[in-house]
Amino acid sequence: MIHVSFLTKNASGRKWKGSLEMRSRKRVRRISLLMALLLVFVSLNSLSFGAKKIKDPPTPPEPTSNEIDLQQVAPGETVTHDFSIKADYNDPSLIVMTPTSEDGHLVLLSESIKTNGKNKSKTANYKFTTTAPGTYLYTVEASVSGEVLITEDYIFNVLPPASPPADTEPPFVFSTEPANNDIGVLKASDVLITFDDTIKVMDNALITVTANDIGIDFSKPENGLEAISLTLSLNLEYDTVYAVSLATGAIEDLAGNPLAPYSFSFATETEPVEPPAPETINYLALGDSVPYGTTYDTTDDSDPAYSGVDGIGEYSYVDKVAYTLAGDGKMVNVTNLSVEGWVANDVLLQLQNDEIVREMIRNADVMSLCVGANNIMDAAPRNFFGIIDFYDIDWTLANQGRGDFENDWSRIISEIEAIVSGINEDIVLEVMTIYNPYDGDDNDAYNKETSLFNETLIHDEADHYFSDSVLDGNRFNGLNTIIKNTTTVLDYRVVDVYQYFEDYYANDKKAVTGFYNFFDDPHPDKNGQDIIGDLHLDAFNGVQNDYVMY
């Protein structure tokens, strides 16, 4: 028996060892032949690519051809295509992927290797990108040590944008302003016709407009004008129905397709009636501290109605009148020239000497006058602190003040008559009676040393100076009697505040004045001023009742 040992290498470089025992030369020859065949078989199976084994000698496989069409939508559009190439090999890391053409349009994105189980491969991912139409040819080879495993041909046919089909669609009116059948269209409006496509004016004579079925001239668009919309300036009139017509042949699109006949109509707004200008009232107030706005405890800064609209003092009936008239839609020009502490003679001198006041009277629609209280109350003495003692009135001085008032009042009315004569004789003059600040049941002691009437109660003593009386067989005209009995050619209206307070607040003057508070303040409070204002408004509005007389 013969024993043979051998060592060889296969195509991958690995050594292979074997041994045989032969009993005879003939058998050895057979075995040697078989071993040789076995070695060749092993060597041939050691190299593989794709799904095929490499033969000895290796020959490149036939290229696989891939032809791809890419269509641009718009000129210059970027087109792309991604593709991958995969090659199998028992050691994928040895595979080299090589494009045969490098023009910047083909870019290697990534490579990956798989070695799990029998799936041993390398994959290359490419992106083709261009913006120019044309044919692009690329060949990509996968090789190992110069031996080609796979050859892939790629042909990219980049096609330019397809030519659009011929435009045979006629244009149409997309919208109009005003819209068809609109009503109440503003007179200042233009007419705007908007189309679905750019149009061309072919014959502007075929664009017509009627107003209440009568053709009108207007500035037409120029022949040949190309636009997406047309503006017609028609100089619209109120209360008019307009119809706009576009005849066949007037409009075409740029491809020559004509617009079908089109018309629309609309109606303009009714001519607005101008509201009448608000009635303007020139209101002038003259007098003493009551119209001036020396008001007891009325300050409420959060309410503008409590502040002097006339710009002086605080809140007074003058403000009440002005605010109310303005709230009724009237334009009120209020001027308050009242002065605190004034007596009747001060007002008379103002009328005689102040030309500005006289001119205001000539232009006033309504004038209110409140004066006289100080003619009586100035007879009350003041203490060291300036506080008036209304229970220590010198009645002799009070009577003198009453007489002064009687003399001055008639002269005041005569002066006003003279100022407005022939100029403003329609002026409304509202005069106010003077209220008695004392409660009817006030039984506090008062100064009777100079009393003319020696009444038990101070209210009754003071009342003689406000109302008419008889003294020693002679008529004693109080301030209010003088005011009520005045005869004049003027529209003279008496606002009887005295009687109102006596009827409703005879024993509760604290509800309308500040007289029975810590300091005796005879001025009206907010409630009192409102009442006085309401009575003046009644007089202004021509209301006649127990407290408004003319």
Beta-strand pair 521-524/513-514: antiparallel
Rounded to 10°, the helix 355-363/395-420 angle is 60
User: Residues, the chain, total?
Assistant: 550
- Answer yes or no: is pLDDT of 396 > 80: yes
8 Å CB contact between 247 and 208: yes
- Answer yes or no: is pLDDT of 514 > 60: yes
Token pair listed for 548: 């408004």
pLDDT at 10: 35
Of 33-47, 391-405, 445-459, least confident by mean pLDDT is: 33-47
4-13, 347-356, 458-467: range with highest mean pLDDT: 347-356
Any idea what DSSP says for residue 539?
A: H
pLDDT at 296: 64
8 Å CB contact between 109 and 97: no
Any idea what DSSP says for residue 545?
A: B
User: pLDDT digit string (tens) for 103-116?
Assistant: 889 888 999 998 88
- CA proximity to 265, closest of 240, 241, 236: 241
8 Å CB contact between 430 and 368: yes
pLDDT at 269: 96
pLDDT at 117: 75
For 280-438+479-549, CATH number? 3.40.50.1110
Residue with more model confidence, 440 or 119: 440
Residue with more model confidence, 192 or 299: 192
Of 40-44, 106-110, 232-236, 332-336, least confident by mean pLDDT is: 40-44
pLDDT at 308: 52
pLDDT at 98: 85
Residue with more model confidence, 40 or 328: 328
User: pLDDT digit string (tens) for 347-377?
Assistant: 999 999 999 999 999 999 999 999 999 999 9
Rounded CA separation 222/233 (Å): 13
Token pair listed for 392: 């220590």
Token pair listed for 361: 């009277």
**Confidence grade of residue 19 (pLDDT, cut at 50, 70, 90):** very low
3-state secondary structure of 481: helix
8 Å CB contact between 193 and 211: no
- CA proximity to 401, closest of 475, 342, 487, 350: 342
- CA proximity to 310, closest of 299, 295, 321: 321
- CA proximity to 72, closest of 130, 137, 128, 136: 130
Beta-strand pair 280-287/331-336: parallel
8 Å CB contact between 420 and 490: yes
- Answer yes or no: is pLDDT of 122 > 80: yes
506: exposed, middle or buried (Cβ count in 10 Å: 0-12, 13-18, 19+): middle
> What proportion of the chain, given as a percentage, has pLDDT over 90?
61
Mean pLDDT of 536-548: 95
**Confidence grade of residue 13 (pLDDT, cut at 50, 70, 90):** very low
**DSSP H stretches of helix in 182-330:** 289-292, 317-327
User: pLDDT digit string (tens) for 50-106?
Assistant: 333 333 434 556 667 899 999 888 888 999 999 899 888 888 888 888 887 778 898
Rounded CA separation 324/309 (Å): 11
Mean pLDDT of 364-393: 92
- Answer yes or no: is pLDDT of 180 > 70: yes
**Confidence grade of residue 546 (pLDDT, cut at 50, 70, 90):** very high
8 Å CB contact between 196 and 172: yes
- Answer yes or no: is pLDDT of 49 > 70: no
3-state secondary structure of 93: helix
- Answer yes or no: is pLDDT of 523 > 80: yes
Rounded CA separation 166/207 (Å): 28
pLDDT at 1: 33
Q: What is the CA radius of gyration of the chain?
A: 59
User: pLDDT digit string (tens) for 488-500?
Assistant: 999 999 999 999 9
**Confidence grade of residue 410 (pLDDT, cut at 50, 70, 90):** very high
**Confidence grade of residue 191 (pLDDT, cut at 50, 70, 90):** very high
**Confidence grade of residue 397 (pLDDT, cut at 50, 70, 90):** very high
Architecture per CATH, 173-268:
Sandwich (2.60)
- Answer yes or no: is pLDDT of 309 > 70: no
Residue in the structure block whose two tokens are 């028996």? 1
Of 88-97, 188-197, 250-259, 441-450, least confident by mean pLDDT is: 88-97
Q: What class has domain 64-159?
A: mainly beta
Beta-strand pair 191-201/226-232: antiparallel
Locate the DSSP E strands across 290-405: 331-336, 366-370
Query: What residue segments make up the domains of the chain, in order of their start?
Result: 2-46, 64-159, 173-268, 280-438+479-549
Of 99-108, 152-161, 436-445, 493-502, least confident by mean pLDDT is: 99-108
H helix count then E strand count, the chain = 11, 30
Phi-psi region of 480 (alpha: psi -120 to 50; beta: other; left: phi over 0): alpha
pLDDT at 45: 41
pLDDT at 336: 94
pLDDT at 532: 97
Measure CA 504 to chain center: 52
- CA proximity to 318, closest of 290, 344, 343: 290
**Confidence grade of residue 9 (pLDDT, cut at 50, 70, 90):** very low
Of 114-128, 167-181, 437-451, least confident by mean pLDDT is: 114-128
Residue with more model confidence, 300 or 161: 161
pLDDT at 35: 53
Q: Can 64-159 and 173-268 be said to share one CATH topology?
A: yes
pLDDT at 341: 94
State the average pLDDT for the chain.
Answer: 85
Of 35-39, 186-190, 442-446, least confident by mean pLDDT is: 35-39
- Residues linked to residue 194 through DSSP beta bridges, in sequence order: 175, 229
Residue with more model confidence, 133 or 45: 133
